[in-house]
Structure 1
């Protein structure tokens, strides 16, 4: 049975993924996108994307041949959508852009997305449904929990330990061996120099608690 690849969500990040999927397709490392599911049927109206709406996320019933690509950036939304779709039997795929670099000894979980020029270095462990946007990187021995999102140009240096459902804004940097608690929010451009507690919001450089 031929698989059918379906994008989950087609907002701003989803539109980026459509482009990155096309790049991967031209290198023969990703299947064709056959459509998208979204609770906003006309979300792609006005954009030059020839992708068919297949139904609402909340009611779509996955078929055996369906393989889903998660086009959502917010950690809480990712967890909610994955849980809902998996309860209906959904299977998810990973997207690694042709320009991304993954060390041989790195470990990637289910549904990981590595956008252009992202890097996962030696012996890093990346959890399920973690997103690396463009030019972001995880250094050696970094650990990242499920559903975490790195916006563009985020730098997690060697030995950083990051919990689940963390959101990093554009250009955030974390110094070596610093720990980030679950569900923390790290603001754009923040420099993290010490432990961040669970649920904290950090901003500025060096970062302060909001």
Structure 2
């Protein structure tokens, strides 16, 4: 029997508003408690939108109740990390949301706070770390690992054996070819086709993906 309580979405941007529907679907399927609302530091975040739930208050001031189950709706990994630490220090618990239409292999391992949106796929022997977001129609192939706090946008394809370290942002429609490794804190631009490993902290874009030019330190640029 599902523990009584309430579900609260952390972040009221576009992804947070999408999660209203996905959380309601998961509640009907008996996977999460009923949705109570959202929290966000922008008090006007829900202005102009008509939903059955609204803002409960700010992230900065929110104190979780003992049975609250939190859903992380923040996409930027570094902010996701900071907010998770803030709420965790107050006793907040992030729950995993698996939409009823998502497909998860029995051999896959999911960390806490993972979000699997509609029609996403997690294949055989995959490991998905804590607080990873997997948006709609995204596919994670066999033997892939995705590090904590990472965000996979819609229509992303991680093919077999890919290694994504923590806090990686992958844009819409990106494709990572087999056994590619992506270092911590890297960014993969929308529509990129990545066929070679990406160092930590780098940003790549286009098809095939190219590394963005890095700015020179002031002392070098001045020479």
Q: TM-score range by the shorter chain?
A: over 0.9
Matched residues in 1 for 2:103 and 2:55: separation? 32
**Cα deviation 1:175-207 (Å, max 9, x = unaligned):** 111100000000111010011000000011111
Note the C-alpha offset of 1:146: 0.4
User: Which runs of at least 4 in structure 1 moved beyond 6 Å after TM superposition?
Assistant: none
TM-score by length of 2: 0.91
Contact 2:7/2:32 (CA < 8 Å) preserved in 1? no
Matched, 1:110 2:112: yes
Contact 2:7/2:35 (CA < 8 Å) preserved in 1? yes
Between Structure 1 and Structure 2, whose CA radius of gyration is higher? 2
Describe how 1:144-155 pairs up with structure 2 within 5 A: 144-155=146-157
Moved more, 146-155 or 1-10: 1-10
Matched, 1:6 2:8: yes
Compute the RMSD of aligned alpha carbons. Answer: 1.2
**Cα deviation 1:26-80 (Å, max 9, x = unaligned):** 3232221112211122311211112142221012112212221111111111111
Gap regions ≥5 residues in structure 1: none
Matched, 1:196 2:202: no
**Cα deviation 1:89-130 (Å, max 9, x = unaligned):** 111111111110000000000100000110000000000000
Describe how 1:55-204 pairs up with structure 2 within 5 A: 55-204=57-206
TM-score by length of 1: 0.96
